[in-house]
């Protein structure tokens, strides 16, 4: 897999939307722009098993478009920088939203931001049992960190091989390449190429089953997906 290629797992009734429209963050697209560890965005991973875990059996191979700038977390940080930030902004910079610790007339440099992110990330995901207090602090602070990231023109954040992978803030940077079905067990799944014609034919049945099984799929969402299915079939000669 190339450096700019990732996996994205999704449900069958969402796959048809991505096939037709690409990735978007709007009404009826909440499931492939979810509120995960890094809050809302398009979640990608290098781990096929992670993609399968979050997306059941349908996996997109995706490509990040040229120009996307991502902070890849590795839990590595410089203690000198962390100590400097603690002196400069007090201990408040190490817990809670960073916006509350930084005065309006000051800001973090790119380097300071990356080291602080890795410090906070390492505390939330330290070895052994997860420290839930630190994880809650991380989750409740990520929106504030995202503001800082976007201020420095970053388009995403994450750890490519971690369970949640990376999140891309702007879906226009993510290009779906091909849709697969994940087969095999969760630990070591493999990819099976899908016949789009067969996939389109079975999608309505699966959506109907989903409507029966999941209360959150309402009639408006069904009508929206159904219209996409018809348009996709018509424009690809599948009717």
Token duo for residue 51: 């993609």
Same domain, 63 and 77: no
Overall domain count for the chain: 2
Same domain, 88 and 147: yes
Instruction: Specify the pLDDT at position 40.
Output: 86
Instruction: Specify the pLDDT at position 30.
Output: 46
Instruction: Specify the pLDDT at position 153.
Output: 94
Instruction: Specify the pLDDT at position 3.
Output: 82
CA atoms within 13 A on the CB side of 183: 6
Instruction: Specify the pLDDT at position 130.
Output: 54
Q: Domain limits at 95?
A: 72-154
Instruction: Specify the pLDDT at position 57.
Output: 82
Count other C-beta atoms under 10 Å from residue 71's C-beta.
Answer: 20
Please identify which residue in the block is written with the tokens 């000669």: 237
Token duo for residue 20: 């037709």
Instruction: Specify the pLDDT at position 219.
Output: 63
Instruction: Specify the pLDDT at position 15.
Output: 84
Instruction: Specify the pLDDT at position 132.
Output: 66
pTM of the full structure: 0.81
Count other C-beta atoms under 10 Å from residue 27's C-beta.
Answer: 9
Same domain, 117 and 135: yes
Radius of gyration of the chain (CA): 20
Provide the H-helix boundaries in the chain: 12-21, 48-55, 79-89, 98-101, 110-124, 132-151, 196-213, 219-235
Q: Which of 99, 130, 154 is the last residue of a domain?
A: 154
161 is a domain residue: no
Mean pLDDT by 10 residues, the chain (239 residues): 86 80 67 66 91 85 93 93 95 91 91 95 70 78 91 92 86 93 83 79 64 57 68 65
């Amino acid at each position: 897999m190339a450096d700019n290629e990732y996996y994205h797992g999704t449900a069958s009734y969402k796959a048809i939307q991505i096939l037709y429209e690409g990735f978007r963050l709007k009404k009826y697209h909440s499931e492939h722009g979810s509120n995960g560890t890094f809050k809302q965005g398009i979640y990608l991973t290098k781990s096929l098993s992670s993609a399968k875990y979050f997306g059941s059996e349908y996996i997109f191979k995706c490509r990040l478009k040229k120009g996307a700038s991502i902070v890849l977390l590795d839990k590595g940080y410089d203690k000198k920088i962390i100590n400097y930030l603690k002196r400069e902004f007090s201990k408040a910079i190490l817990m809670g939203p960073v916006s509350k610790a930084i005065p309006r007339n000051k800001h973090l440099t790119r380097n300071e931001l990356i080291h602080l992110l890795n410090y906070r990330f390492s505390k939330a995901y330290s070895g052994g049992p997860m420290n839930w207090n630190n994880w809650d602090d991380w989750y409740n602070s990520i929106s504030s960190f995202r503001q800082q990231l976007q201020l420095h023109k970053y388009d995403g954040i994450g750890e490519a091989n971690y369970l949640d992978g990376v999140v891309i803030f702007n879906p226009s940077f993510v290009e779906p390449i091909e849709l697969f079905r994940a087969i095999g067990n969760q630990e070591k799944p493999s990819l099976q190429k899908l016949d789009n014609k067969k996939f389109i034919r079975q999608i309505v049945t699966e959506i109907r089953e989903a409507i029966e099984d999941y209360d959150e799929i309402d009639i408006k969402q069904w009508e929206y997906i159904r219209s996409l299915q018809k348009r996709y079939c018509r424009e690809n000669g599948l009717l």
